[in-house]
Amino acid sequence: MAASRRYAVVGTGIRGLMFARMLIDPQTRRRGGDLVGLVDVNRKRVRGFCECLGESVPGFGSLAELCGSTDVDGVIIASPDDTHASLIAEAFDLGLEVVAEKPMATTREGVAQILEAERRAGRRLRVGFNMRFMPVAQKLKALLLEGVIGEVVSGSMDWMVDRTHGMDYFRRWHSQMSRSGGLLVHKASHHFDLLNWFVDDRPAAVSAMGSLQSFGPRGPYRGERCSTCPHTGVCEGAMPSTLLAAASGQDDAEGSQLRKLYYDAEHEDGYIRDRCVFRPDIDIYDNMSVLIRYAAGAQIAYSLNAANPYEGFVLSLVGREGRIEAHVVFHETRPAGMPDVQSVRVVLGRARGGARLRIEDMPIETEVHDGADGPMMRRLLLGEEMGDALGQEAGSAEGARSALIGICANESIAAKREVAVPDVAAPAAAVGVGR
C-alpha cells in the first residue's frame, strides 16, 4: 500500500510533540516522511511547540486553513479526546489520510460519526495503540497465536497507575468526563484493545463499578492551581517542585517544555496545566472495575486504580488447554529490590498432577512505554515493517470496540446494570483502502 508522507500534527501538546519529533528525524525524512504543518487554535502554543521541536513548522488554526495553504497528505490527530470525532470526520471529508491517537472517540455518537466519515471517504483510519508494540504484549500475542492454551475462556487484568502519574490526569482536562470519557475511555481504551487483541473476539456486554477514592473531594486541601496554592509545601497532590518552577521560568529541560507548551500559552485559551487534583468539580473515577463478556462466551475481569505505588499490570488468561500469566512493572516505577526481569508464564495441563510450567523471561525495557512508541509510529507513518503477522495494525473497528467498552462501562456504572456493547466493523469501503 502506498504511504502518505507529508503529515501535519493536529494538537500541539506532549503527545503531538512525540509524533512531530519522529517526523523530523533525519532517518524518517530519508524514508520519505515529513512534517509540513501544525494545527492548533492556540497560536502561542504552536510557537512554543516549534521551540521544543527545534524547528520552525507552519501553524494553522484549522484543518481547512491547513489544506488551503500547504500540500499535505495526512494528519495525526493528537488533540483532546472530545475533539477526535469531529476532526477525524473533517479530515476524511477534506480527502486526507488520518492517524488518530487513542481513544478514537469518547461517545457512541462520535464512534458512529467516524465510521460514517470513513465510509464516505473510502479510506482507512489508523489508530495508535502503542501497547500492541510492547515486547511483553508481542510475546503474549505470539504464544496465543501458537495456540498454547487453546481458546481463551476467562481471565483478568489488573492495571496499576502509580500515584505520580495518576495525579497528572486529575490536574488536566482529563478530569472532566465530558472531555475525556474518564479513565475508562482515555486510559483503559489501551488496555481494552489489548484484551480484545488477546481474546480475538468482539466485546458483547459489560458490567462495571466506579468511584472516586483518592482525588477530588477526598483530599485534605483545596486550591485553584498548584503554582499559587498556599498548601503546595504540604499537599501530597502538589505538582513536583521542579515542574512548578517552570511557571516562573526557573526550569530544567522538562520544565522548559512544560512552560513553552502550557504556562506561556494559557492566556490564549484558559487551559491551566497545574490545577488542583482535589477540586470539587472533578467528575471522573480513580477506582474502576469492569466485567467484559465476549461474543463467544469468554469473561474477562478488569480493574484500574490511579493511586498505586508503582505502575504496570498483572494479566492472566485461562484457555481450554492451560493458563498464561504476566506481571509487568514499568521500569521508572520499579520498587527497589525487584528483580530486573519480566516473565511470561505458561502453565499447561488439564488435571491436577499433570501441570507443566514454561517460563519466558524478558529483559526490562528502559524506554518510555516499554519502547513501544518508535515501532508503532514507524509502522503507522512509514509502513516500515513489512507484513503484520501479529495483527498489530489497528483501524476503526479496533478503535471503536476498545472505546465502546469504556463508554458502555460508564453507562453501566450510572445505570447499575449490564450494558450491551454494540457490534461494529470497519465500513466495507474502507477495508484495504488507503495505507
Peptide bond into 339 cis (omega under 30): no
Fold of 132-215+282-365+394-420: Dihydrodipicolinate Reductase; domain 2 (3.30.360)
- Whether 316 and 323 have beta carbons less than 8 Å apart is answered as yes
CB within 8 Å of 379: residues ≥ 6 apart: 133, 385, 392, 393
Q: How far apart are the C-alpha atoms of 204 and 405, rounded to whole Å?
A: 9
Q: How deeply is 354 buried, as exposed, middle or buried, from its count of CB atoms within 10 A (0-12, 13-18, 19+)?
A: exposed
- Whether 116 and 106 have beta carbons less than 8 Å apart is answered as no
- Whether 144 and 324 have beta carbons less than 8 Å apart is answered as yes
405: cell is: 467498552
Q: How deeply is 147 buried, as exposed, middle or buried, from its count of CB atoms within 10 A (0-12, 13-18, 19+)?
A: exposed
- Whether 419 and 411 have beta carbons less than 8 Å apart is answered as yes
- Whether 357 and 331 have beta carbons less than 8 Å apart is answered as no
Q: How far apart are the C-alpha atoms of 37 and 60, rounded to whole Å?
A: 7
Q: Inter-axis angle of helices 188-199 and 396-415, to 10 degrees?
A: 110
Position 166: which residue type?
G
Q: Tell me the β-bridge partners of 303.
A: 158, 289
CB within 8 Å of 338: residues ≥ 6 apart: 329
HSE-CB at 404 with a 13 A cutoff on CA atoms is: 23
- At residue 154, φ and ψ (nearest 5 deg) are -160, 175
Q: How far apart are the C-alpha atoms of 195 and 391, rounded to whole Å?
A: 13
- Whether 189 and 415 have beta carbons less than 8 Å apart is answered as no
Angle at 319 between CA 398 and CA 153, to 5 degrees: 60
Q: How far apart are the C-alpha atoms of 243 and 273, rounded to whole Å?
A: 11
What pLDDT was estimated at residue 366?
63
What pLDDT was estimated at residue 317?
98
CB within 8 Å of 366: residues ≥ 6 apart: 331
For the residues of 313-343, what is the DSSP string, one character each? EEEEEEETTEEEEEEEE-GGGPPTT--SEEE
What pLDDT was estimated at residue 166?
96
Q: Tell me the β-bridge partners of 325.
A: 316, 345
Q: How deeply is 241 buried, as exposed, middle or buried, from its count of CB atoms within 10 A (0-12, 13-18, 19+)?
A: exposed
What pLDDT was estimated at residue 435?
41
pLDDT (tens place) for every residue of the chain, 435 residues total: 345 589 999 999 999 999 999 999 888 888 878 999 999 999 999 999 999 999 999 999 999 999 999 999 999 999 999 999 999 999 999 999 999 999 999 999 999 999 999 999 999 999 999 999 999 999 999 999 999 999 999 999 999 999 999 999 999 999 999 999 999 999 999 999 999 999 999 999 999 999 999 999 988 899 999 999 999 999 999 998 777 887 777 777 788 898 999 999 999 999 999 999 999 999 999 999 999 999 999 999 999 999 999 999 999 999 999 999 999 998 888 888 887 778 899 999 888 888 999 998 887 776 666 677 888 888 887 765 557 889 999 999 999 999 999 999 999 999 999 999 999 876 655 544 344
- Whether 165 and 179 have beta carbons less than 8 Å apart is answered as no
Return the CA Rg of the chain. 22
177 three-state secondary structure: helix
Q: How far apart are the C-alpha atoms of 26 and 230, rounded to whole Å?
A: 47
Q: How far apart are the C-alpha atoms of 196 and 296, rounded to whole Å?
A: 12
Domain ranges of the chain: 132-215+282-365+394-420, 217-269
- At residue 192, φ and ψ (nearest 5 deg) are -65, -35
Q: How far apart are the C-alpha atoms of 219 and 254, rounded to whole Å?
A: 27
Position 412: which residue type?
S
The CA-atom distances, in angstroms, between 357 and each of 72, 198, 326, 349, 354 are 53, 20, 13, 9, 10
Position 287: which residue type?
N
- β-strands 341-348, 356-363 pairing: antiparallel
